[in-house]
Amino acid sequence: MSALHAAPLAASAEATPLPSSWHILLSRVLTLCLAELRKVRHDQTELYTRALQPVLWLLIYGETFNKLRAIPTGNIPYLAYLAPGIMAQSALFIAIFYGIQIIWERDAGVLAKLMATPTPRSALVAGKAFASGIRATSQVVVVLILSAILGISLDWNPLHLLAALFLVVIGSAFFCMFSVSLAGLVLKRDRLMGIGQAITMPLFFASNALYPTRLMPGWLQSISTVNPLSYEVDGLRGVLLGTPSNVWLDFTVLAVALVVGVTVASALLPRLAR
């Protein structure tokens, strides 16, 4: 008590000089990212349990369809074809639940408290995007390790691996923003859970994650061309398998989608605090 007594407390909040808005934005995003890293450091069980899903997909579904040879993937073994798809899919399944998390934070009062601090809304949602990116990174590592164990021949060039990581992180950050935007629209947890499930599966199946889109009927192909997950997987196959891909287009589509996602999500965020 006495330590504080000496300080001219009431005057000091104003005395701090106002940093520029860019400085504030960057500093807040960094702060929220650091906090997220500390949470992960305190409890890693979440990362381990989440590793289970891609492992099951590759081991059970992947091995079976690899033997079946039912899906024409040219001269690439199906397991190798599938690995980038599962990378993107497992990150997507995590990212899509951040909307539910933010509604839960709203219900718990956490969001209101953060929004009452001098923090731009875009920094708050960018912090979520980063959190989703961390989880995506661990999923990439899991699929890479499993690929090495199963003897899947990927391009192990470190630069290509980094490019793959980057693609998954921005893709996952976009889907996180998509989910947070939905949360800002529907505002209720149970509604969002229904919508989340109704959206995740079509996103996954109406993409090139499991099979080439040329196998799809025309209408489904056109859905796949506007599905950011398809660009993510296409880019991943390009850098990890060397398949003919338009990697720069994939990067651009995902980056633009992410910027739009952050903008929309931060515009909708105040609806949650009301």
Partner 1 sequence: MIATPATIECENLVHSFGSNRALDGTSFTVYPGEIFGLLGPNGAGKTTTIRILATLLPPDSGIARVAGRDVRHDAMMVRRLLGYVPQQLSADASLTGYENVWLFARLYDVPRAERKDRIQEALVTMGIADSADRMVSTYSGGMVRRLEMAQALVNRPRVLILDEPTVGLDPVARAGVWERVRSLRDELDMTVLLTTHYMEEADALCDRVAMMHRGTIRALGTTDALKAELGADATLDDVFRHFTGDLLDDQGSFRDVRTARRTARRLG
Q: Which of 20, 22, 43, 151 binds partner 1 (CB under 8 A)?
A: 43
Rule CB under 8 A: say whether 28 interacts with partner 1: yes
Which helix (H) or strand (E) is 206 found in, with range? none
Tokens of 172: 């996952």
**What's the rounded Cα separation, in Å, for the pair 171 and 177?**
10
Rule CB under 8 A: say whether 259 interacts with partner 1: no
3-state helix, strand, coil in the chain (%, to 5): 80, 0, 20
Rule CB under 8 A: say whether 226 interacts with partner 1: no
Q: At what angle do helices 189-205 and 158-186 cross, to 10 degrees?
A: 140
Q: One symbol per residue from 107 to 126: x for binding partner 1 (CB under 8 A), - otherwise; what is it?
A: xxxx-xxxxxxxx-------
Rule CB under 8 A: say whether 3 interacts with partner 1: yes
Distance in Å, CB of 104 to partner 1, minimum: 9
> Which DSSP category does 213 fall into?
G
Rule CB under 8 A: say whether 159 interacts with partner 1: no
> Nearer to partner 1 by C-beta: 40 or 255?
40
Tokens of 113: 């408290």
Q: For the CA atoms of 233, 234, 235, 239, what is the dihedral angle to 10 degrees? A: 100
Tokens of 79: 């397991």
Distance in Å, CB of 132 to partner 1, minimum: 16
List residues binding partner 1 (CB under 8 A).
Answer: 1, 3-5, 7, 9-10, 12-14, 16, 18-19, 24, 27-28, 31, 34-35, 38-39, 42-43, 107-110, 112-119, 270, 273-274
